[in-house]
Amino acid sequence: MSTETLTPDSTSTTSWWGGLSRRRRTMVLSLAALLVLSIVRIITGADDITSSGTVSSTLRVATPILLAGLAGLWAERVGIVNIGIEGMMIVGSWLGGWAAYQWGSWPAIAIAMCGGALVGLIHAVATVRFNVDHVVSGIAINVLAAGSTEYLSIIAFKGKKGAGESQSPTGKGGYGEFDMPFLTGGRIGSWRSPDILGWIERQHSIPLIPDIAGFLRGLTSDVYLPTVLALAFIPFTMWLLWRTRFGLRMRASGESPAAGESLGVHINRLRYQAMAVSGALAAFGGAYLSCVFTSTYRQGQTGGQGYIGLATTIFGNWTPLGVFRGALLFGFPTALKYRDDQNVPALFLVGAVILLLVAVTLVRRRQFSTGSAALVTAAVAVWIYAAVAEVPETLVTATPYVVTLLVLAGARQQLRPPAHAGQPYRPGENH
């Protein structure tokens, strides 16, 4: 990976940490996060925090965010800023709902992806052909998508059975689910294999081990097939970006299109192709909401998840695995909330501990202002845990944005956006 060649300043960090490779550090950090969760689970008795059920629903909540994040990644890697992800998701969710009640669930996803690709191409035509400011075009797409789906809903759904001015009829057909044999009791033929991880998970008195088991079990049991499809885009994108000629050209287009062009790369054609994929991925995320997560399209269903996706692209440092990590992190609070409101206060304790660690790191790096901002947020989180009996959903929804802002403000040296993203480019005029 290109980002692995970067070595962040190791002067302010301890020697063992500085000596670790980036991949090892991520492993250590993930284990540390699980440990924090595990301790909080034992202190508060909120066993659900790391149960496989929670992880499993986190995965469901995270899938549309993951897809939106990948949509942002595909666009920005070729140098196009995609603020229109939200609009593309709206189009996807509408098309999904519209197609699902007529032709069933899988065609709905396919139709939504085609429609999303078209919207992605509109964004590409505006930004590539006409050199429109990327942000402006994205905003126009969001306005247009919201307006036209509202209009078309009235035309297409009003008066249909079980539908209304802002809601589609219930979709036909469902999707299969997937369980891993031997680990989570998946079937081989007609024989049901043992659920080993499930057994480990139930040993609540031990720290850490049941949490790891719960995490793994959540990722491998009761997984919707569309989720599997969405997850498959992670290794696919990684392979494409770093192992193929096409991916190299994509990255060239995002980093230095003039250099790519001088080597004979058709920058504009490449950008059209990548934007079509970006739009299709975002629309898949939208269709996931209206066909998989629920079975009807509702107006306003995406609720800003396209923007969370955008945040995930940044948080994930423009890498597929990073986007996945961000999607899981951002989906976690919502999933906990869905399962049981009682869990959420415990989450604020988790947040406080993590923010405290961040603050310590920042202060050691002499970034006092951001460090104290993190410290204040941590104090507020502890106060909320102690004082507020029920945590309002509104604050939970803000976490992805606050986290992304803190990351942008505090760890910007470690972020590496494509150098040319968002800048105007005309082939043949960059000498």
Partner 1 sequence: MKKDRLQRMLVTSASSVLAVVVALVICAVLLKVTGKDPIKAYSTLFGAASEGKVLQDALNRATPLFISAAAVAIGFKMNLFNIGVEGQMRVALLSTAVVGGLVELPAPLHVLFCLVVAMVSGAAWAGIAGYLKVRRGVNEVISTIMLNFVALALVAWSFDVFFREETDSASLLVKTKELPTSAWFPDFVDRRLNGMLVVALLVLVFFYVLVWKTKFGFRLRASGGNPGAARVTGVNPMRMVAISMLLSGALAGLVGMRALLGDVHAYQNGLAEQQGFNGIAVALLGRNHPVGILFSGLLFGFLSAASGKLQLEEIPKEIVTIMQGIIVFAVVIINGAVKRWDERRIQRRAAAELERRAVEVAAA
The answer to whether 248 and 41 are in contact (CB under 8 A) is: no
Binding segment for partner 1 (CB under 8 A), chosen from 57-65, 141-149, 254-262, 346-354, is 141-149
* 231 lies in the site for partner 1, by CB under 8 A: no
* 160 lies in the site for partner 1, by CB under 8 A: no
Which C-beta is closer to partner 1: that of 103 or that of 401? 401
* 148 lies in the site for partner 1, by CB under 8 A: yes
Structure tokens at 80: 């196009």
Least separation in angstroms between residue 96's CB and partner 1 is: 20
Query: What's the 3-state SS for 257-287?
Result: HHHHHHCCCCHHHHHHHHHHHHHHHHHHHHH
Least separation in angstroms between residue 170's CB and partner 1 is: 23
Is the torsion defined by CA of 126, 127, 131, 133 positive or negative?
A: positive
Binding-site member from 155, 188, 263, 389 for partner 1 (CB under 8 A): 155
Structure tokens at 83: 């603020």
Binding-site member from 20, 36, 39, 139 for partner 1 (CB under 8 A): 139
Binding-site member from 370, 374, 420, 425 for partner 1 (CB under 8 A): 370
Least separation in angstroms between residue 337's CB and partner 1 is: 14
Residues of span 108-127 touching partner 1 by CB under 8 A = 126
Least separation in angstroms between residue 13's CB and partner 1 is: 20
The CB-side HSE value for 406 (13 A sphere, CA atoms) comes to 23
Q: 101: Cβ–Cβ under 8 A, 6 or more apart, which residues?
A: 160, 168, 169, 170, 171, 172
DSSP readout, 57-93?
Answer: HHHHHHHHHHHHHHHHHHHHHTT---TTHHHHHHHHH
* 340 lies in the site for partner 1, by CB under 8 A: no
DSSP readout, 49-66?
Answer: GG-HHHHHHHHHHHHHHH
* 386 lies in the site for partner 1, by CB under 8 A: no
Which C-beta is closer to partner 1: that of 231 or that of 405? 405
Cα–Cα distance between 328 and 332 in angstroms, integer? 6
Rounded (10°) CA dihedral 377, 318, 302, 225: -120
With b for 16 or more beta-carbon neighbours within 10 A and e for fewer, the 85-124 pattern comes to: bbbbbbbbbbbbbbbbbeeebebbbbbbbbbbbebbbbbb
Neighbour-count burial of 178, counting CB atoms closer than 10 A to its CB (0-12 exposed, 13-18 middle, 19+ buried): middle
Residue 90: name the closest of 305, 275, 278, 277 by CA.
305
Q: Which residues pair with 298 in a beta bridge?
A: 167
Conformational region of residue 377, where left means phi above 0, alpha means psi within -120 to 50, and beta covers everything else: alpha
Binding segment for partner 1 (CB under 8 A), chosen from 186-194, 325-333, 345-353, 399-407, is 399-407
* 359 lies in the site for partner 1, by CB under 8 A: no
Binding segment for partner 1 (CB under 8 A), chosen from 130-138, 167-175, 178-186, 236-244, is 130-138
* 312 lies in the site for partner 1, by CB under 8 A: no
* 190 lies in the site for partner 1, by CB under 8 A: no
Binding-site member from 222, 293, 408, 416 for partner 1 (CB under 8 A): 408
Which C-beta is closer to partner 1: that of 225 or that of 395? 395
Binding-site member from 56, 63, 137, 334 for partner 1 (CB under 8 A): 137
Least separation in angstroms between residue 149's CB and partner 1 is: 9
Binding-site member from 310, 347, 354, 375 for partner 1 (CB under 8 A): 310
Residue 420: name the closest of 85, 128, 9, 162 by CA.
128
* 382 lies in the site for partner 1, by CB under 8 A: no
Structure tokens at 27: 């492993």
Least separation in angstroms between residue 402's CB and partner 1 is: 6
Binding segment for partner 1 (CB under 8 A), chosen from 23-31, 202-210, 303-311, 355-363, is 303-311
Site residues, partner 1 (CB under 8 A): 81, 83, 126, 130-133, 135-137, 139-140, 143-144, 146-148, 150-152, 154-155, 304, 307, 310-311, 314, 369-370, 392, 394-395, 397-398, 401-402, 404-405, 408-409, 412
